[in-house]
Structure 1
């Protein structure tokens, strides 16, 4: 079977970009453990086994509902009954393995697929057609639940925007420029920036990008590749992307960090809004994403809830389709029809509603609207899903329109980086991961490189050194400098983070995401600068000139807890690669932020 041409696969989460043996286990590519929903008391007459693969955000609920189905007294047309078994795989990964014949997952091949959005069924169809196969998903499919895309804002800001009446995507997400919140009478709130998932990794991020293009083209259906090439459309999308605070690989993790900051009284940092599924607004407001004690289902509700703002042009709906695959035989198709009927019954739909989903007919519960805020008087307007080929072209173009970055990378070269990891050293593993991560940056980004440890015979003047000056991205030169670095000394973590943060502030670019990236395998061992409290104060985010610190804790000797505190003080993020095998994943997740 011939492989799909490269262009047919470029849109998938970094699949084409990360080819040299890198398994992408991130965002829309995370493979999770199988969830088995077999019954505690299987019926002897249930000869039909139905394997269902669900997207991960609703998999736990599907396990519960499948068990409820299996324990019921339902019978199939023609006699007998079925046992449903649920496994979980993120929608992007499922798309990939379905296109490859469902190999390498360790999960049973499904007869029913429940992705987050029909966007994925369209992309699978594109992959099948490009490979000369009969499409596995040629049709449109019924929904088992729905969740529209919304612009979520902290309540004071969201209510102020709502008071202005109907506003469009450009009027909301394009607010900032230099005027920012001053245009709403609140200059003390500063610039307007928002959080958004990387569309190469996230269904929410992909849907947000599509919605922006629809708003730019001033239509709600039939988006074409010609629309994408229109200079006015390009200008509109570029204006929106310019206001991104930073990209995320996972909006759930972004909200968990926000909930933790809220409960600590730290607020939302420099972000005025986050574009995401309405369902997640409900979960956040109900404490479902707050820190919780062991045994608790939910944590405390946030002090400042989020409000869902609906742009007037319309929004994109994540429709959670019920897809019966060609792998289903005749009896499994009968079982699938019965399971679909079961999922759309009132009791099961009430279970979806408790998680913040709208029902299979897009109707919101009273409780959901009370939690996230009322929808417009005339109801929501939805954009029609674009042709899969248009989505592919859109993502090809997004890489040039997205907000660019101004990044200073600080690489630990202390003596502990000589410790073995298999047949390589920590430094060799880290260097290889850094090279792969750098390959995913945009050629228009600005990137610099520092090395750090403590003073050594080869670096007697200070604990860190500028290897490549922060400027136009020269990947070949950075890789060459990394390959030639000398590993020795102790870990001068605090001094380096402080100095690197100051360096980026001095070269701050308001048109870019400004960040420090720190890769270390240890903890601070530098007696001349051992004041963590002062460091946290020094890197605390200034919303007017945000410089964020992103840390990768490499190997088990890393002080991840401290790195996490440093990152959060700056509204950045720490990535846990204390298992060295996870460092490739950490770099891909890191790069998705830029």
Structure 2
């Protein structure tokens, strides 16, 4: 956004009247006619009209999708701006604020199936920006400045907080969730981390904190995810509704009610503002740092906006950072962008010394860490059944730039690393493919799809057998890429062996386009996949194009008809993260899991 100059400061006409909205134009015009007929002096004295410079004729009308928690505050700022005739380059600025869950907006932008009817977006976290960028077909977005913040905390009803020593006792994230899990007085709930930045940031912080404790941190993190999944809500609004609605013992004893939830400070502030003393929340602030929701102002499809629209949007962004707007945001329970703690706000939200509510926020987790957490969440909450299909054509012997390893070597190492993210209940199998690999067939099954925790013939587990099979993969000299026949055969087999209640999918890794002239054509393959896809037995195909020679568009075109998608990695070392991302994305969209 550095290429823009800022619009002029806003000016008022001194009338104090709220400028009319576009949808009221006809009504206003009618009033003008009536006023002229009856005498304009009477109309003016009655305050029906303002004879200052009209805003309606020159106003720039904008729409803004806003995270529901901050929507009331932003709407108050927009209403005051409209009343004060906020101006950009001489035009009045009229902003319509619409509350919509951040994950819904992100997913719609990522799909890019239709042009949005809004110019601005204010999600609750910048983690949604990466999801909104999608797989290359997304609506373009231009991130701007953050406008507010709110730390992620663990909120508890007073009886539960007291049982864990609130406010004197301080915990790390790992210690706090462990104490809550072990207590028979604390039922812990969360919003779905795939739909809630609060839930995802908290779960990621728990994982990072567990790593610092050493030992079997992955098992502890997975156990926490399993527990949260049992009391999971769709979103932040819904998780607040799982708390007792009054201070009665009967409500708090209701097993359907949570006594503790992962929640932002602002959400606790809003809850406490409407609650009686007995149902107000107390907040634990982990001593290893509370991650922040950071509310990044974002322009949407900026290239399609007029100059007046983009400059008016920027003017509104600067307005949100001005003192009066920041006071409005604070009155609604938000901190400043840098996370500075206001003691009055913190007390209203349920914070109290010596809880470390003023501690600097924990370092923001990397995109890779967030993606791994999402993948872990998906495969922990719902067991996966994956058929992994690996390209064994001769081109997989190509050395990866900057490494003394072939594409196959790096691919194998990444697959073995990815295997560690799956639980004993997950089912994974392995195929390899290259032209005429097995007689006239381009594919060969190496390991059947079974539970990783099952015992394998000859000793060890299925996981051990699969890891050994990954390690044994080798490129076939002079072998070409027999992609189309392999994709169809693997898909049919996954459908035939479909298991209800699991995330069923086929994961194909290839470094090239189809090279088998004897195979089914791409159009025929797509037509056949469309024909046999069964919504009651969904099996998304997840295609991963490996290396610069691979064609993501080809695998995406094939995969999307099954409810899956195509992905590109320039370095095979990225495969592990992409597999988890692909599983999470397909799982989030509802593919792969039958009832």
Report the Cα offset of residue 307 of structure 1: 0.6
Aligned to 1:490: none
Q: Residues of 2 paired with 1:111 and 1:478: CA distance? A: 42
Aligned to 1:379: 358
Aligned to 1:274: 261
- Report the secondary structure of 2:231's partner residue: strand
| Alignment pair present for 1:152 and 2:155 | yes
Aligned to 1:51: 63
Task: Select the residue among 172, 176, 183 that pairs with 1:172.
Answer: 176
Task: State whether residues 243 and 259 of structure 2, in contact with CA within 8 Å, keep that contact through their aligned partners in structure 1.
Answer: no
Task: Select the residue among 132, 136, 151 that pairs with 1:131.
Answer: 136
State the TM-score, normalized to the length of structure 1. 0.51
Question: For residues 379-528 of structure 1, what are the structure 2 equivalents within 5 Å?
Answer: 379-402=358-381, 444=425
Question: For residues 28-427 of structure 1, what are the structure 2 equivalents within 5 Å?
Answer: 43-44=55-56, 46-76=58-88, 78-101=89-112, 103=114, 108=117, 110-125=118-133, 127=134, 130-131=135-136, 136-137=141-142, 141-159=144-162, 160-163=164-167, 165-175=169-179, 180-181=182-183, 190=184, 192-218=186-212, 232-244=216-228, 246-260=231-245, 262=247, 265-267=250-252, 269-270=254-255, 271-287=258-274, 300-325=275-300, 326-327=302-303, 328-371=305-348, 372-374=350-352, 376=355, 379-402=358-381
Q: Deviations over 1:526-575 (max 9, x none)?
A: xxxxxxxxxxxxxxxxxxxxxxxxxxxxxxxxxxxxxxxxxxxxxxxxxx
- Report the secondary structure of 2:210's partner residue: helix
Q: Deviations over 1:58-78 (max 9, x none)?
A: 3344333222212213332x4
Q: Residues of 2 paired with 1:250 and 1:134: CA distance? A: 24
Task: State whether residues 285 and 356 of structure 2, in contact with CA within 8 Å, keep that contact through their aligned partners in structure 1.
Answer: no
State the TM-score, normalized to the length of structure 2. 0.51
Report the Cα offset of residue 212 of structure 1: 1.6
RMSD: 4.2
**Unaligned segments of structure 2, at least 5 residues:** 1-19, 29-53, 384-422, 427-453, 455-496, 502-588
Report the Cα offset of residue 264 of structure 1: 7.3
Q: Residues of 1 paired with 2:193 and 2:87: CA distance? A: 42
Q: Residues of 2 paired with 1:176 and 1:115: CA distance? A: 30
- Report the secondary structure of 1:103's partner residue: coil
Report the Cα offset of residue 237 of structure 1: 0.8
Report the Cα offset of residue 156 of structure 1: 3.5
Q: Deviations over 1:68-123 (max 9, x none)?
A: 212213332x433322223333211211222233628xx62x22211111010122
Report the Cα offset of residue 135 of structure 1: 5.5
1:339–1:202 Cα change, 3 Å: same
> Max radius of gyration: which structure?
2
- Report the secondary structure of 2:189's partner residue: strand
- Report the secondary structure of 1:363's partner residue: coil
Aligned to 2:41: none
Task: State whether residues 147 and 358 of structure 1, in contact with CA within 8 Å, keep that contact through their aligned partners in structure 2.
Answer: yes
Aligned to 1:184: none
1:47–1:386 Cα change, 3 Å: same
Question: Would you say how many aligned residue pairs link Structure 1 and Structure 2?
Answer: 350
1:263–1:38 Cα change, 3 Å: farther
1:370–1:149 Cα change, 3 Å: same
Task: State whether residues 339 and 361 of structure 2, in contact with CA within 8 Å, keep that contact through their aligned partners in structure 1.
Answer: no
Task: State whether residues 66 and 99 of structure 2, in contact with CA within 8 Å, keep that contact through their aligned partners in structure 1.
Answer: yes
Task: State whether residues 197 and 248 of structure 1, in contact with CA within 8 Å, keep that contact through their aligned partners in structure 2.
Answer: yes
Task: State whether residues 121 and 299 of structure 2, in contact with CA within 8 Å, keep that contact through their aligned partners in structure 1.
Answer: yes
Report the Cα offset of residue 268 of structure 1: 5.6
- Report the secondary structure of 1:52's partner residue: strand
Task: State whether residues 266 and 332 of structure 2, in contact with CA within 8 Å, keep that contact through their aligned partners in structure 1.
Answer: yes
Q: Deviations over 1:570-592 (max 9, x none)?
A: xxxxxxxxxxxxxxxxx98xx9x
Q: Which has the higher contact order (CA 8 A, sep 6+)?
A: 1
